[in-house]
Amino acid sequence: MRNVVVVGAQWGDEGKGKIVDWLAAHFDIVARYQGGHNAGHTVRVGGRRFILHLIPSGILRDGKVCVIGNGVVVDPEALLEEMAMLRREGVSVTPERLLVSHRAHVILPYHRVLEAILERELGERRVGTTMRGIGPAYEYKYGRRGVRIGELCEPDLLREKLAFIAEHINRVLRAFDAEPVDPQPLYERYRELGEKIAPFVADTVAYLNQAIAEGRTVLFEGAQGAMLDVDHGTYPFVTSSSASAGGAIVGTGVPPTRITAILGVVKAYTTRVGEGPFPTELQDEIGQLLQQGGGEYGATTGRPRRCGWFDAFAVAYAVMLNGCTALALTKLDVLDPLPEIKICVGYRYRGRTLREYPASCETLRECEPIYETVPGWQTPTSGLTRYEELPPKARRYIERLSQLVGCDISFISTGAEREEMIIVPGYAVERVLT
């Protein structure tokens, strides 16, 4: 039995889409467990570029079943658009290949309105969200005023719920001089959307647990990264869901005893989108080099990503939090031109070296990174597929990162294409692949 969680071990955008696409060849089912269409997973196959927001990256592998779990918040219009895009590209998207949990919550138009109001009201303390209604959809879910995917397929219940919710939401909207919600056209539109996605709606908890009982293997795909986890990340500058490995349990209904390995994904440097503290951020020509060389622009919004040196102190925290079995390293080739590279090995706060990762963003803003400098290799690594082909200094850099974060780097992506991957043989790889 092999059921593996893939989780970002930085602030998201680590390249999980490519890693999941590559690993999907070794699994039967790929299940997404949290987030919404604020995530953007970019996958390149045969020169073609796919950007996926809701559908698991495994959809690009023939014969694989993809599941959108109950922990995901779903914008039905965005889902249908993504399905249509894939079909135009010749990818099979049928009810046999894609299942959507009837327990997943729905993002509705008023969630986007609420998010815009909140970001405006926060002013300089704004989070810098994608403005797609993700946070308010989760707020309404936990406030027990949400609409679930299965309810889109029950017209009488949907009408009743939207009428009830409109009474509450309109009191909020009027307080901010925003246009109130008319529940009738909203009902008509979402009843129509429910009819379109009904063939894909299923009890995915029962499906996944039955599949595992029958010996089929599941790859769990996370969105964002552990440092954006709503509980364990740099709160309040976080996403609205459990982006750490534990989210896979709640977000799919598969018990923890069924998980066999956790694969963390990290970049060879660090990036962050939106607001929030970022101790190793580089606002100089090296930061620009990383941004340009890595194509560091958000797949969902196109926003430029903030770039900085690899933060081993933060990744070590993420490795502990997720219980990572192994790590996958991406975008090593972006560092190829640099004569020397810095690695953050700890933080100094008001003259004191910290032993544990700080929970307070106010503390984190004052932290000074403690750096270790290593020589660069200044030799191309793009496209290499064997560990022995890497320059010795690149191998030493990878080995040093492994030592600092306390976890083996077992997979190394050397380019955007599917097959540009190095596997480092060892026990950690065996835990993930066999």
- Is it the case that residue 427 has pLDDT exceeding 80? no
pLDDT classification of 67: cutoffs 50, 70, 90 = very high
Summarize pLDDT for 245-302 with one digit per residue, the tens.
999 999 999 999 999 999 999 999 999 998 899 999 999 999 999 999 999 987 666 7
Identified catalytic residue from 41, 102, 111, 232: 41
Q: Is 231 a catalytic residue?
A: no
Average pLDDT of span 19-32: 96
Q: What percent of the chain has pLDDT over 90?
A: 82
As a whole number of angstroms, the longest Cα–Cα distance in the chain is 66
Summarize pLDDT for 208-249 with one digit per residue, the tens.
999 999 999 999 999 999 999 999 999 999 999 999 999 999
